[in-house]
Chains A and B, each alone.
Chain A
Amino acid sequence: MAYEPVIGLEIHAQLLTKSKIFCSCSTLFGAEPNTHTCAICLGMPGVLPVLNRTVVEYTIKMALATNCAINESCNFARKNYFYPDLPKGYQISQYAQPLSEHGYVDIEQNEGKKRIGITRIHMEEDAGKMIHDEHLPSSYIDLNRTGVPLIEIVSEPDMRSSEEASAYLKRLHEILVYLEICDGNMEEGSFRCDANVSIRPRGENAFGTRTELKNMNSFRNVQRALDYEIKRQQYILESGQAVIQETRLWDDSQGVTLSMRGKEEAHDYRYFPDPDLVPIVIDESWVAEVRKNLPELPLAKRERFMRDYQLPSYDAGVLTSSRVLADYFEDVANLSGKPKAASNWVMGDILRFLNEEKRDIKDCPILPQSLAEMIQLIENGTISGKMAKDIIEEMYRTGKPPTTIIEEKGMVQITDEAALAKTIAEILAANTAQVEQYRGGKEKVFGYFVGQVMKATKGKANPQLINDLLKKMLTAS
């Protein structure tokens, strides 16, 4: 029987606010354990939370960017459960009245665009971290992360393959990073993903029993875990058994999902409105203000790049994968007036250099002006494309503008026709045998002559000019 997977994702994104959601402690990652804490985030008796308004603003941004409706009034609820990394014994989250609901994003698939529904986006606080020492009977707790603001983005069960899930995940990641409200770092846990998966016979409308997958800390692992889990469920159904509703952890080293807890152990979180916090009223003007300051989103940018710069879809996709890269490309394209050349240089050499050193585009030593200048130097024939390959490497190494490098190395292209003709004539005179071969129909020899000319001019000759002159002079006499 053919089965169809049904997948929904729950994404937790840490917001890039300076301070925590309900106290003024820093949110910076990597500090000494328990140094970014205070009585409030430690859940001491008698302390009270006060909401960081920036968290609301960032969540509105994400809601607008994913076409969600923003509720005029929302509130916080307590999610009650015991765990040592949760000092109050409850997590402040949103439940019955989230900040926003009913949104969507479009993903591109081979069959075209597909719309993935977003059920809700809500705000909550992060929990701390347990540190276990295998050699000790006790564990340690680091509460630096406690109270760091999170948004939870819950999708509809709209995805039908691990590829779709992966595309959706990447789309949300890209939007969050574009909005500059999340750093998107999956290893450090600032972007986390849980998945609900079930399968059903193709054509069936009812959902199968689902499992919840956790602990997938990279895009690759999300897809691997989903593929494994889909196969596992299929195997169970095909062998006549039933899938159990449970939470399963992805084990990266074994490449399998393992049962964590079953439905009967599922928590009753006893949600109720947090009496320590007042309802949050979000009026039209606040939404309008946030909307006004919203950056162009990746999809819109991609379409604009294809339209305005005549770029192929692939190029537009790569160049808009981050806001800084897109800005870099646009600067080069506009300053040089040659968008396709700009795209080729940025996607080719620049990204290769950066990848080799695992550097970010914002740290690129070549300024957009310099790259644009280099493109113009190729256009006006001052340098050849081949020379440019060497020059750009030097530019990357030194950060110097191309003109300085050309001057320092005397790399100006020979475009003087008379001088070049003289050199060619000398080469033809010294290689009469090959000239004969060419004239006898062996056109391959042409490449040999080009090489000789380049060698004689130390690569500075304009390749087009060499071609033209060689052809003319070889056929002339």
Chain B
Amino acid sequence: MELHQLTIHELQKLIRSKEVNSSDIVKSVFKRIDAVEGSVHAYITLMKEHAFEEAAKADRCIREGNIRALTGIPVALKDIVCTKGFLTTCGSRILHNFIPPYDATVVEKLKEAGAVFTGKTNMDEFAMGSSTETSYFGITKNPWALDRIPGGSSGGSAAAVAADLCIASIGSDTGGSIRQPAALCGVVGMKPTYGRVSRYGLIAFASSLDQIGPFTKDVEDCAIMMNVIAGHDPRESTSVPLDVPDYTAFLSRGIDGFKVGIPKEYFIEGIDPEITEAMRGAMKAIEGLGATCVEISLPHTEYCLAVYYIIAPAEASSNLARYDGVKYGFRADDCKDLLDMYKKTRSAGFGAEVKRRIMIGTYALSSGYYDAYYKKASQVRALIKRDFEEAWKHCDVILTPTTPTPAFKIGEKIDDPLQMYLSDIFTISTNLAGIPGISVPCGFTRQGLPIGAQFLAGHFEEGKLIQIAAAFEKQANLKQRRPNL
């Protein structure tokens, strides 16, 4: 095994026993990047020089015995989290030259824990997309099949972990943008409870839905990353001041006696038969671990997509108003006057999908339509939340497929927004309800494409998700299989 193939916890053992240091690991990761990044294109910006400097610093800490949770571990960041002094583009031309003068809270926390940043990963423009095809900086390929999409919007972060271009990465999830690419790339991805991980410095797409979370090679690493990034942030009003448990303590608890809810509304027509089959296997596996599966109902499931595609664009239309060419980022040339500058800058600075959502959102909020769209959607959102509250009376966690299909071909759905939007059909309700969810690998199609299982739990019950995901992961035993790059 090469160092870049290892997990955080495996590398930590080697670091503690002084068998390897951070520079060795970073060297290995960048060797891998040199070899395969050209075909995967997971990154927008590489921070090679910075990474080696930080690795040298980490090595000093290791020598001094000052080893923290992520000391010396190469971590990649989705290009949506602000990094002081490093380009942060959000996958958009409009921020193609934007260098923030501040770090996101999550970046500060990772630095504090000793992580070494490898670079900023590719993503759908402003996180709007499910395939990483809407990025201004090119398409990221799925490491398991280079002619297929890695999922999105955090496709770069998922592909980077799957292809060993980093050890772990950070993504953001507004409607499935962590869990969907994690499933399609065969890695672990968690969307924490809304308010659990600080959004400060996360470039906003839809503020009431956005949440930062980790991509890792296994569930134990997910727990380690969550220990670092979770917690209250006084710089965010919607951050929740609750104590954070040690998530690694949940890893080996087992799930004997767990009640696992299977929502009947999630096994719909149009779902890939191989995925249904994998789900049956997953149910069997967890029952073998002492849990029982019970059918539950989330009756408002059919409205999730509609509600999401009103609330998310509405918030986005306002969040993206600041990109006007006045203070930073792209500004069009040859503008006659102020209005002309706004029009030309925003027309040329944003891609088609972003413009589509800004228009949908603007429409949903305009006077005369607000009640019928935004207000109604907010009311239905409350019902969706209540569906889950009702469900927790009957089960501890919920199991669903993460996606209805495995990774599709590049270009296959990019011109059909509705088909594209359906890729998030199983992940969107989580964001609307604000609850946590995790996607773990649960099998492969006959073509060798990864399939993900999604577990959901109540607010701030990430521990339960780690608990069941860890037990399931051990039982499924899929870790040996790697993409052939």
Asked if B408 is at the interface of the complex by the 8 Å CB criterion, the answer is no
Q: Do the beta carbons of B318 and A46 come within 8 Å of each other?
A: no
A46-B203, A278-B238 are contacts. A272–B322 as well, Cβ < 8 Å? no
Asked if B327 is at the interface of the complex by the 8 Å CB criterion, the answer is yes
**A45 in complex: contacting residue of B98, B326, B366, CB < 8 Å:** B98
Whole-angstrom CA separation of A268 from B365 in the bound complex: 9
Q: Do the beta carbons of B318 and A270 come within 8 Å of each other?
A: yes
Q: Do the beta carbons of A43 and B322 come within 8 Å of each other?
A: yes
Whole-angstrom CA separation of A43 from B326 in the bound complex: 11
- Of all chain B residues, which has the CB nearest A273? B378
**B324 in complex: contacting residue of A44, A80, A89, A271, CB < 8 Å:** A89
Contact with B along A248-287 (1 / 0, CB 8 A): 0000000000000000000010111001111000000000
Q: Do the beta carbons of A45 and B82 come within 8 Å of each other?
A: yes
> Closest CB-CB distance, A291 to chain B, in whole Å?
26
A78-B318, A272-B314, A272-B318 are contacts. A42–B327 as well, Cβ < 8 Å? yes
Q: Give chain A's interface secondary structure class.
A: loop
Interface 9-residue window, one of A48-56, A108-116, A460-468 = A48-56
A44-B328, A46-B200, A82-B324 are contacts. A276–B366 as well, Cβ < 8 Å? no
Task: Write out the residue numbers on chain A whose beta carbons fall within 8 Å of the beta carbon of B82.
Answer: 45-46
Whole-angstrom CA separation of A80 from B321 in the bound complex: 8
Q: Do the beta carbons of B314 and A50 come within 8 Å of each other?
A: no
Asked if B367 is at the interface of the complex by the 8 Å CB criterion, the answer is yes
Whole-angstrom CA separation of A82 from B358 in the bound complex: 14
> Closest CB-CB distance, B461 to chain A, in whole Å?
21
Asked if B270 is at the interface of the complex by the 8 Å CB criterion, the answer is no
Asked if A102 is at the interface of the complex by the 8 Å CB criterion, the answer is no
Asked if B362 is at the interface of the complex by the 8 Å CB criterion, the answer is yes
Asked if A456 is at the interface of the complex by the 8 Å CB criterion, the answer is no
The size bracket of the interface on A is 20 to 34
Asked if A317 is at the interface of the complex by the 8 Å CB criterion, the answer is no
Asked if A381 is at the interface of the complex by the 8 Å CB criterion, the answer is no
Q: Do the beta carbons of B326 and A87 come within 8 Å of each other?
A: yes
Whole-angstrom CA separation of A271 from B364 in the bound complex: 11
Asked if A438 is at the interface of the complex by the 8 Å CB criterion, the answer is no
- Of all chain B residues, which has the CB nearest A143? B327
Asked if B30 is at the interface of the complex by the 8 Å CB criterion, the answer is no
Interchain residue pairs with CB less than 8 A apart (14): A39-B101, A39-B102, A44-B102, A45-B82, A45-B203, A45-B322, A49-B237, A51-B237, A78-B318, A80-B318, A82-B324, A268-B367, A270-B365, A275-B238
User: Which 9 A-B pairs give the minimum distances between C-beta atoms?
Assistant: A89-B321, A275-B208, A270-B365, A275-B207, A45-B203, A46-B203, A46-B201, A46-B82, A43-B322
Interface residues of chain B, those whose CB is within 8 Å of chain A, are: 81-82, 88, 90, 95, 98, 100-102, 104, 199-204, 206-208, 234-238, 314-315, 317-318, 320-324, 326-328, 338, 342, 362, 365-367, 370, 374
Task: Please give 9 more A-B residue pairs, beta carbons under 8 A apart, in addition to A48-B236, A272-B370, A278-B237.
Answer: A43-B327, A46-B104, A46-B200, A49-B237, A50-B236, A82-B324, A84-B324, A272-B314, A276-B238
